Amino acid sequence: MMEEKIMANKYLIEARGLKKTYKMGKAEVTALSGVDLAVVPGEFVAIMGVSGSGKSTLLYVLGGLDRPSEGYIKIDGIDLATLKDSQLADIRSKKIGFVFQFFNLLARLSALRNVRLPAEIVGASVKEAEKQALEMLELVGLEGRATHRPTEMSGGEQQRVAIARALINKPRIILADEPTGNLDTKTGLEILQLLKRINKENGQALVVVSHDLRVGEMADRTIHLQDGHIVSEKLAERDDCVNECEEEGGIEK
């Protein structure tokens, strides 16, 4: 049943006519003014743009953290607008993994407990969660740092913990908001390579919002956002992607 449904929806993420306006006091600020976007399973999409272009808002809306003012988003064919807050939370915990610029780890918890958290949220026992968390820490190369707290770790290590946390429930989508924004060049590159590797090896779709140009170079597809709408879209000219991505990527207009 589930398989059929997924097959019927060739897009993992499908968003049409997304608009988002905020009220800032009396003024109304438009963050998104009509964005159409689709992501297929396993795709690596970079969303580039200057600050204030609406790219973070787009990511939050795609991830079900925020609701659009207009338009719809379907994740795995499920229209997010039809979901109650609690169901939206379940989508976030099971289908989406978030990676943030400032890592957003809980400072009072060890690396292991941070990574365990999403598994515990979906109801895993502490034992199961711990087992999975250890695997994830191993995947990001931090098996030796499990008991350390975020404050005892470097930025790069913290971001790895955050990635491990995003991966623990094996979501089909990883959404990263400026994952290199708070790291030095070398560490940033390592993090991007890690994300790219996970994307290729696990087949999890990866959407990265950034103004780090290297993200665009690594992605299968790069979207430029300006003043809340897409101004350009470019497919990577790379062997591993040319055939498939050209067919599947992008949204039919």
Specify the DSSP class assigned to residue 26: T
Q: Give every CB contact of residue 25 below 8 A, 6+ residues apart in sequence.
A: none
Footprint of another protein on this chain (CB under 8 A)? 60, 63, 65-66, 85-86, 89-94, 96, 98, 100, 104-106, 108-109, 113, 117-118, 120-126, 129, 165, 169
CB of 217 vs another protein, minimal distance in Å: 28
CB of 87 vs another protein, minimal distance in Å: 9
CB of 252 vs another protein, minimal distance in Å: 30
Q: Which ranges of 43-154 would DSSP assign to H, the alpha helix?
A: 55-62, 85-95, 111-121, 126-139
| Residue with smaller CB distance to another protein, 11 or 60 | 60
| Residue with smaller CB distance to another protein, 54 or 118 | 118
Name the token pair of 83: 């979901």
CB of 100 vs another protein, minimal distance in Å: 8
Query: CB–CB of 173/39 below 8 Å?
Result: yes
Alpha-carbon torsion angle 209, 213, 219, 220, nearest 10: 110
| Residue with smaller CB distance to another protein, 166 or 241 | 166
| Residue with smaller CB distance to another protein, 86 or 243 | 86
CA distances to 16, 115, 166, 198 from 118, rounded to whole Å, are 29, 7, 8, 18
CB of 106 vs another protein, minimal distance in Å: 6
| Residue with smaller CB distance to another protein, 93 or 226 | 93
Query: CB–CB of 175/97 below 8 Å?
Result: yes
Name the token pair of 137: 């820490």
| Residue with smaller CB distance to another protein, 171 or 216 | 171
CB of 191 vs another protein, minimal distance in Å: 19
Q: Of 180, 175, 161, 179, whose CA–CA distance to 204 is shortest?
A: 175
Alpha-carbon torsion angle 70, 73, 62, 197, nearest 10: -160
The neighbour count for residue 137, using CB atoms within 10 Å, is 23
Backbone phi, psi, residue 34, to 5°: 95, 80
| Residue with smaller CB distance to another protein, 104 or 226 | 104
CB of 39 vs another protein, minimal distance in Å: 19
